[in-house]
């Protein structure tokens, strides 16, 4: 069957992004809506989930979602009558090939880590975690020649190196990758890569791959993935090792110097890189920035309004206190007595004025009579 086409991946991306993934992953509840729309029976849908959830984390990332959609569409369109027992190689993304190999090895009881094969018995258990300066320099050369511009390494990017490790089975390589990649991310950073290469170097020299890493390294490997800042790392220029001694990775470094990019026949899930995926991510970041700016402007405007309201509140509170004080003063007994005394004084003065007025009227009447008599 053909591998996934670019238009097909873009169509699945539209469905995937429409379900609003969290941390680029969809939960079973969100995926179930799409699954049930296919009208396949529950047994088939459960099988689709088991085949798609390669890292068995109970969620589907975009690559795993593409796998699920292709399996469902093949059944719905009649391209196949039943689901495969295991994923075909053309449908396995390169970034998860090591997980599939490890799962198959475990399922087939052929990991070789606990078996008493002749090869296993010949391996030494004195694994040394110490990385000498010369080994570190060689590991850094391999890292620099294989890292992307963000300083990240994929499992598939070292595929040519694996071919130079004579006598090291793929299951050991996958197990070593999982040791330094406990979060089962698609990529690892420089520190993880150096330890990964050291494990492979020790294994190629006859040391048994350890079943766990020291606590200090475990804490380092479990830290959060750094942000993809294009100015944070740029791949260094490839160097040729100065030593003439054939050591771990030297044949690999010699081979890739000046070589073209390694071809990959697997399904390429990077068709949306720099287009749909990046555009959606940038649009989301732009929207978040606009929301932050809007919140800041609203907070600034509300601050001015709050200042005016606070001033008005202060003035009204002072006015209320003044009125309450006036009422309190009017309500006291001493003030009432004073007012009554004032009223009595005024009344007395009014009576005196009325008597004075009557007296003057009498005098005026006498004068008027005298004038009349003289006429």
User: Which three-class secondary structure state does DSSP give residue 248?
Assistant: coil
pLDDT of residue 228: 42
Question: What backbone phi and psi angles, to 5 degrees, belong to 265?
Answer: -90, 0
Compute the average pLDDT of residues 370-374: 84
The answer to whether residue 80 scores a pLDDT higher than 90 is: no
Note whether 6-91 and 107-267 share their fold: yes
Neighbour-count burial for 115-144, b at 16+ CB within 10 Å, e otherwise:
eeeeeeeeeeeeeeeebeeebeebbbbbbb
pLDDT in tens, 173-188: 988 998 888 877 888 9
pTM: predicted TM-score of the whole model, two decimal places: 0.39
pLDDT of residue 304: 63
The answer to whether residue 327 scores a pLDDT higher than 80 is: no
- Out of 8-17, 61-70, 309-318, 349-358, pick the least confident: 309-318
Question: Domain limits of the chain?
Answer: 6-91, 107-267, 339-375
* Nearest to 205, CA basis, from 135, 258, 308: 135
d(CA 178, CA 199): 11
Q: Give me the CATH code for the 6-91 domain, please.
A: 1.10.238.10
* Nearest to 91, CA basis, from 176, 161, 3: 3
Q: Residue 251: exposed, middle, or buried by beta-carbon count in 10 A (0-12, 13-18, 19+)?
A: middle
* Nearest to 200, CA basis, from 159, 254, 150, 144: 159
CATH of 107-267, one of 3.30.930.10, 3.30.465.10, 2.60.40.180, 1.10.238.10: 1.10.238.10
The answer to whether residue 142 scores a pLDDT higher than 90 is: yes
d(CA 357, CA 295): 80
DSSP code of residue 22? B
């Amino acid at each position: 069957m053909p591998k996934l086409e670019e238009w097909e991946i873009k169509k699945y991306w539209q469905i995937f992004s429409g379900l609003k993934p969290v941390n680029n992953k969809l939960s079973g509840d969100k995926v179930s809506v799409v699954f049930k729309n296919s009208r396949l029976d529950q047994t088939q849908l459960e099988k689709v989930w088991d085949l798609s959830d390669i890292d068995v984390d109970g969620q589907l990332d975009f690559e795993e979602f593409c796998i699920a959609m292709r399996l469902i569409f093949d059944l719905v369109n009649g391209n196949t009558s039943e689901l495969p027992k295991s994923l075909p190689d053309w449908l396995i993304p390169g970034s998860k090939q090591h997980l599939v190999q490890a799962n198959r090895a475990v399922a087939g009881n052929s990991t070789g880590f606990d078996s008493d094969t002749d090869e296993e018995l010949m391996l030494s258990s004195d694994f040394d975690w110490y990385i000498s300066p010369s080994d570190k320099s060689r590991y850094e050369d391999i890292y620099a020649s294989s890292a992307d511009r963000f300083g990240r390494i994929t499992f598939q990017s070292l595929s040519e190196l694996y071919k130079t490790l004579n006598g090291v089975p793929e299951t050991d390589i996958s197990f070593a990758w999982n040791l330094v990649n406990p979060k089962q991310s698609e990529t690892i950073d420089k520190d993880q890569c150096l330890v990964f290469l050291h494990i492979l170097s020790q294994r190629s020299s006859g040391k048994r791959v350890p079943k766990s890493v020291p606590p200090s390294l475990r804490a380092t490997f479990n830290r959060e993935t750094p942000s993809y800042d294009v100015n944070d790392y740029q791949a260094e220029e490839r160097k040729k090792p100065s030593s003439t001694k054939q050591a771990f990775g030297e044949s690999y470094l010699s081979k890739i110097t000046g070589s073209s990019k390694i071809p990959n026949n697997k399904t390429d899930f990077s068709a949306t890189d720099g287009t749909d995926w990046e555009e959606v991510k940038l649009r989301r970041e732009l929207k978040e920035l606009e929301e932050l700016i809007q919140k800041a402007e609203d907070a600034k405007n509300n601050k001015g309004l709050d200042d005016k309201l606070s001033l008005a509140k202060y003035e009204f509170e002072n006015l209320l206190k003044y009125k309450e004080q006036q009422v309190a003063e009017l309500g006291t007994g001493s003030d009432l007595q004073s007012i009554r005394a004032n009223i009595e004084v005024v009344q007395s003065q009014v009576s005196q004025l009325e008597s004075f007025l009557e007296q003057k009227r009498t005098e005026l009447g006498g004068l008027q009579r005298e004038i009349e008599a003289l006429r």
